[in-house]
Structure 1
C-alpha cells in the first residue's frame, strides 16, 4: 500500500512524499521465532550449512534452550539440536527428521558455561564453554 502526503512549504513549493506502508517484513525462515517459548531471548547464535543454531536464555528461570532453524524449510531432513553444561559429558539432544527446525532442547544452567550446537543434513557446528554466567 502506498500513502501520499502533500505538504506546502512556506516558500510556496509543494512537496509530495510517498511512503510505502506495509506490515513488518516476514521473518526469515532461519531466524529465531520463539520456538523455546515465552521469556526466552537469543543470547548467541552460529551459522550451520543450511541454517542457524540459536542459544536462548530465560532470565526468570535460569534455563538455556537451543533450536536449529533451516534457511529454506522443505522436505524433512536429518537435524539435531544439542546442549550441555561445559562441566558435564551428558548432552541433551533432539535428533530427527524435520522440515523447519530441531529442538527445543532445554537445560538448567544459570551461572554456568554451556556447550551447544546443532546439525542440518549432517553438517555440524558446536560452540564450547560459552555464555558463562
Structure 2
C-alpha cells in the first residue's frame, strides 16, 4: 500500500509539472552584444544584388553604447571561415573607426562605440562585398 501511494504521488507531481506553462525571462536572455542591448538596425551586405551577409546594429540605453556585428548568410559565408569585417564610429569621424577584419567562421564583432545622443556610421564586410550606413541610429 505504501509503494502504491508513493507512486500515485509521483504521478500526480509529474502531471502537474506537465500542465504548468514553461516560462522564460526575456530580460535574462543576452543578445550578441550583451543583455542590455536591443537591436536597432539590420542591413543587407551588399545593399543590392545577392546577399552575402547582414550588418546588425544594437544600442544600450543604460550604457549609451552602440554595438555592431556582421554575419555571413550566403552559402559561401555562413558557417565558413571567410573574410568578414565590421566597424563602427560616431558619425562624422569623431574618435575614428573601431572594428575588426579577419577570417571568421560565423561573424565579425561585436565592436562597440560610446555614442549617447549622437548618430553613428557603421560598415559590414563579407569577402569583397561591403555595406556602409551613414549618420544612423541617432540616440
- Residue in structure 2 matched with residue 91 of structure 1 by the alignment: 97
Q: Cα distance, 1:122 vs. partner?
A: 1.7
* Length-normalised TM-score, structure 1: 0.71
Q: Cα distance, 1:43 vs. partner?
A: 0.5
In terms of fraction of residues, the more strand-rich structure is: 1
Residues 1:119 and 2:125 aligned together = yes
- Residue in structure 2 matched with residue 128 of structure 1 by the alignment: 134
In terms of fraction of residues, the more helix-rich structure is: 2
5+ long unaligned stretches in structure 1:
1-32
Please show how residues 24-103 of structure 1 align to structure 2 within 5 Å.
34-48=31-45, 49-71=51-73, 72=75, 73-88=78-93, 90-103=96-109
Q: What is the number of residues matched between the two proteins?
A: 101
Q: After TM superposition, which residue ranges in structure 1, 4 or more long, deviate above 3 angstroms?
A: none
Determine if contact 1:51/1:68 at 8 Å carries over to the other structure: yes
1:7-43: per-residue Cα shift (whole Å, max 9, x none)? Answer: xxxxxxxxxxxxxxxxxxxxxxxxxx82212111110
- Name which of structure 1's ranges 84-93 and 57-66 shifts more when overlaid on structure 2: 84-93
Q: Cα distance, 1:75 vs. partner?
A: 2.4
* Length-normalised TM-score, structure 2: 0.68
